[in-house]
Every structure is written in C-alpha cells, then in structure tokens.
Amino acid sequence: MSVTQKTPHDRFVEAALAAAADPTPVIEVGIPMRDGVELAADIYLPREEERPAPAIVTMTPYDKSGMFVAPEGRFYQKNGYAYVAVDVRGRGKSEGEWRAMVNDGPDGHDALEWVAAQPWCSGKVGTTGLSYMGWTQWATAAERPPHLACMVSTSAAGRWQQEIPYTNGCFQLYFGWWAYIVRRRITEFYGVGQTDWDEMLRRLPLDSIGDFINSSSQTWRDIMDHDTLDEFWKAIRFDDRYDTFDVPCLHVTGWYDLEDLLGAFHHYEGMMAASPARATQRLIVGPWSHVNSRNPHSSYAEVECGPEAALEMDEVHLAWFDHWLKGNATGALETPPVRLWETGSHRWREEEHWPLATGERSLYLDWDGEDGSLSDAPAASQGPDRSYRYDPLDPVPTRMDVRRYPIEDVPVEMSGIEARDDVLTYTSEPLQEAIVVSGWPRLELWASSDRDDTEWHVKLTDVDEEGRSIKVCQGCLRASYRESLEHPSPITPGEPTGFSIELWPVHHAFLPGHRIRVSVTSSDFPWFARSMNRFGPLKDQAEPLVATNTLHHGGPCPSRIVLPVEEAGGGRREAEG
C-alpha cells in the first residue's frame, strides 16, 4: 500500500489552516510609519467574542518574538487584550536604520495610533515594557498620541548622562557589551558566553572597542561622540516637558538595578512635580535587579529578603491595565501611591509620597592616621590628609560575570573590596537606634589629585555585627564634570577642590548595632570604564597615568556624607502581605 508523502507546500497549508483556526491567533504584520518605513509587529489577538479589545503595545530592540515578549503576549491575550509587540526601526524584521533612541518617539506615536484604528481594537491603548522598552514608552508619550490611555514603565531609561550611558562623566562600560549584542538586526544574547569580553573591555583607547563590536549601526558612534550633556541628549530628555504628559503610569524598579534605577526615579519625580496626571502615578520599588524588576525574586546576590519580596508582577500589571483600559474595579488607585521595600529591615512600606525623609543628617569624614571614622560634627581644624594610589591597570573590580546574560546579582558584600589599599573607608560607631535613610544621599567631598582629571566612586554600606559590609547605594563623578555636565574643565593638580557626588536613591533601615560606612576610590571596573587620569574625551585616551589621589578632612575642607533621614514620628506604615 503506497503512502502519499506530504510536500512542503502541503505542510505549509496545514500550518496556515491550523493558525487560522486558533481562537487566540498570533499574526505578523507591517505597521506603516509616516516616512514609509514599515515596522514588523506580532499581534496576539484574544478570542473573537472578546473583540474589539483594548490593546497593550510594547516596542523592543530585542526581538518581538523573543524571551522578553512572547510569554507576556500570551498572558495578556489570555486575559482579553490584544497585545502588540513591535520591533523598533532597523531591528529584527523592521525596516529602516537602527540608531538607538533617535527614532523611538515618532515611531511609537505612529504604531500606537495605527493599533488604535484597527477593527479588533476598542481604541483604548496602553503601553508596557522593561528597560529599553520602558524608554520607548516615554519617547512615545512625549509625542502625545491621542489614544495612549496608560503606561506600565519598568526600569525605564531617560536621565541621560546622569544615568546612562555616562554617569556624571563616568562611562558605563556595560554599554560596550550592550552595543555588541544589538550590533546587527538580530540580538546576540546567546553568543555572549563565547566572546572574549576580558580582551574587549580592556581595549585602549576606548573608541577601539568599536572595532571589536563591528556594528552596522550608528549607536556606538553616537555614544562615543556625545560624552557630555549636549544637544543630542537634551533632545531626548524631558526635564521641562513633564507638564505635557497627561497619562497615568505605574512606575516599577528595583533598588539593585545597576542599569536604570536613576531613570525610573527621574520619570516618577518629574511626573509628580509637573504632570497634570500626578494623582494617577504609582511607584513600586523592590529589592530587585534590572531584569528581575519584571519578574521579582525573593533574594539578591548575598541578600535574602524572604518570599514577600517576590511580588506577582503579572497580576500587579493586569490590575493596572484592567482599571484604565477596561474600567474594572481592581483597586489600582485605592492603595497608597508609593510602595517601597525597606532594605535592612526587609519589609514593605506603603506611603503617600517619595522620598520619606523629613530631615537630613550629616556625618563627617575623619582620619586619625590609622582609622577612618564618621562623626556628627566636623573637626575644628584640618586633620591629616589621606592618600591612595590609583592605577588604571589595576582597577577596583566590580566582580561581575560579563560572559552571561542577564548580568544580574552583582555582589553587594564589599568587605573584600574595602580591604584594598586603593579603597578608603570611613565607619561610624555602632548605632544606638535605627536610622532610616530615604531619598538621594550625597557626598560633599574635599579632595585633590596630582593629575588634571580622575574619578570618584563612592559606596554607602551597612556593616552588621559580624562585620559584613553590604552595599546600600553608590554614586560616581568624573572630576572634570564637577561644575557642568555640558562643559567639563580640568582640575588643578594638588589643589583641594570641593566635589558634590550624588548617590543613587535609597530607602534603607540601618538597624541598632550596625554601623554606617562610606568608601571612596577611583574605579569600578568593568561596570565603569577606567579613568586614565587625563582630561579630555575618554574615547581617545590610550596611555594610562597613575594618580595619587588625596582626601581632606575638617577645617576648611569638611568632607561629609549627607543622609536624607526619616525622623521619628514620620508616619511609618507597614504594608500588609
């Protein structure tokens, strides 16, 4: 008996018929932009009886059908939404030239309005996404599309040059890694383990990393050529435009997010200060890393937080969209607007505002020739100086594994790092009562260098009774950017200079018996590129110089850490569940 073999055409027809019969299909389309370019999109349609349905749009450079998108698409589709995942211009299957950040606003506007006009859409459209997909939401919102009803913005970039790709003049070398994985149309997540990252990240000058990346896009060139807060970056910052953003937004991020924590707070604080929609902003910050802000875990690196930390984020997002896009009574606005995980005490706090600080406390750096201390009052006269040798060929390590993705769980136990000769520490006496720090700390540092430029990398840590020093937050500043991110200027070698170093936002309880510690050094490699201790564009510097950097204390040089603190009776509320 003969068996009829199916031809490739037969199998194609069968697959097409099966897809057409699926009550919840995924279809691929091209969405036209105003300039004629088409962006590729996957559309997850709910069951026919649920259409027309509200839509949720995400725009990604990481593959519209990939691991960050497809599971979310199926989740919303199952819950009665049309979910639309779009490859940004020049990425994946989309036409056009890929140039990070440049085209996302107009393209996002056009994609969202196209979705709203489709017969399967009710006209109600929300947006969602993590990281770059968070940024595309803000770029889209800036174009004021009429049908944008709400957003869920997770760890979104946007505080350019104070956040990424340069942090107050210090280049995040992570972006060499990032530019590599997006160098072609298809994201290269899965090849990172076979790449010689140690060789790549140590290349000098910095610009030569571009030869290793061998990108087909302008992205690395843009990052290298725009190392100040120039017009390129100002055009995509929204500092003076939040009063035009009339859209409800759920802001989500994690205290351990090394990539976009600053951007997330920048957007939230900007909306609360100026937006007519400030009453419909909500903020959730947990003990999570960058990627895990979308899929929370109960621990981070050496810190175990407990099961309460692992929020069911799908359900949190769904309640937000159901409220704004379906009009369901989900309680999305019935809880306090701010939900913070209090690191140190390991519990949720629900509050009416961010930050919770009601005052400031200054701790002054002092050095007696043997030990560095933090005290409540400055020394009346200038104390002894304290110096260290910073060698770019022997930088302080970040202790991260760049061969795996995602780059998560970077260690926060700092004791080994603090034992180095080029890391200076200042530690308080054991606390008699708890101190809750909530806001943006800053280090007002008096320092000098025998070179005309260098960097300051600062960490605030919590030292427990056993001597473990756990990072609470950090900050950095390139010395030449001390007065302006737009117009850097060299420092005078040997001259004590005042530097104000912004630390990252934090909400942390230092418990009784613990000690507060501040550490200062000049590198954090390879998360940050190494300073060559030379003034001028970092991209061109190939010859490292060793610097002797000196910290000054007391008298006319009262170096101090300024902590925003929640004073007693500040209205503490512990969240339930």
Do 259 and 290 touch, CB atoms closer than 8 A? yes
Lowest mean pLDDT among 62-71, 221-230, 385-394: 62-71
499-512 residue pLDDT tens? 999 999 999 999 99
**pLDDT at 539 > cutoff 80:** yes
Question: What is residue 190's predicted lDDT score, i.e. its pLDDT?
Answer: 59
233-265 residue pLDDT tens? 999 999 999 999 999 999 999 999 999 999 999
What is the pLDDT confidence band of residue 118, given thresholds at 50, 70 and 90?
Answer: very high
- What is the torsional sign of CA 552, 554, 557, 558? positive
Place of tokens 């890391």: 423
What is the pLDDT confidence band of residue 572, given thresholds at 50, 70 and 90?
Answer: very low
298-356 residue pLDDT tens? 999 899 999 999 999 999 999 999 999 999 999 999 999 999 999 999 999 999 999 99
Per-residue 3-state assignment (H helix, E strand, C coil) for 10-28: HHHHHHHHHHHHCCCCEEE
**Cβ atoms within 10 Å of 181's Cβ, excluding its own:** 19
Question: What is residue 2's predicted lDDT score, i.e. its pLDDT?
Answer: 47
Burial category of 34 from C-beta neighbours within 10 Å (exposed 0-12, middle 13-18, buried 19 and up): exposed
Euclidean distance between CA atoms 223 and 59, whole angstroms: 21
Q: What value does the mean pLDDT take over residues 473-490?
A: 98
What is the pLDDT confidence band of residue 174, given thresholds at 50, 70 and 90?
Answer: confident
Question: What is residue 19's predicted lDDT score, i.e. its pLDDT?
Answer: 57
More confident residue, 184 or 475: 475
More confident residue, 409 or 193: 409
Question: Strands 121-130 and 347-351, how do they pair?
Answer: unpaired
411-426 residue pLDDT tens? 999 999 999 999 999 9
List of residues 6+ apart from 76 with CB closer than 8 A: 44, 56, 83, 318, 321
List of residues 6+ apart from 341 with CB closer than 8 A: 255, 285, 286, 287, 305, 309, 347, 348, 349, 507
Average per-residue pLDDT in the chain?
Answer: 93
What is the pLDDT confidence band of residue 1, given thresholds at 50, 70 and 90?
Answer: very low
Question: What is residue 23's predicted lDDT score, i.e. its pLDDT?
Answer: 84
Backbone angles phi, psi at 175, to 5 degrees: -75, -15
Lowest mean pLDDT among 64-73, 96-105, 546-555: 64-73
Euclidean distance between CA atoms 133 and 430, whole angstroms: 43
Question: What is residue 22's predicted lDDT score, i.e. its pLDDT?
Answer: 77
Burial category of 243 from C-beta neighbours within 10 Å (exposed 0-12, middle 13-18, buried 19 and up): middle
Lowest mean pLDDT among 167-181, 463-477, 522-536: 167-181
154-166 residue pLDDT tens? 999 999 999 999 9
Report DSSP letters for 72-124, one per residue: HHHHHHHTT-EEEEEEPTTSTT--S---TTTSHHHHHHHHHHHHHTSTTEEEE
**pLDDT at 553 > cutoff 70:** yes
List of residues 6+ apart from 363 with CB closer than 8 A: 374, 375, 376, 428, 516, 518, 560, 561, 563
Question: What is residue 215's predicted lDDT score, i.e. its pLDDT?
Answer: 84
Domains of the chain: 10-158+246-351 (3.40.50.1820), 359-566 (2.60.120.260)
Backbone angles phi, psi at 347, to 5 degrees: -155, 160
**pLDDT at 468 > cutoff 90:** yes
**pLDDT at 17 > cutoff 80:** no
Q: What tokens appear for 150 in the block? A: 């709400």
Eight-class DSSP state of 158: -
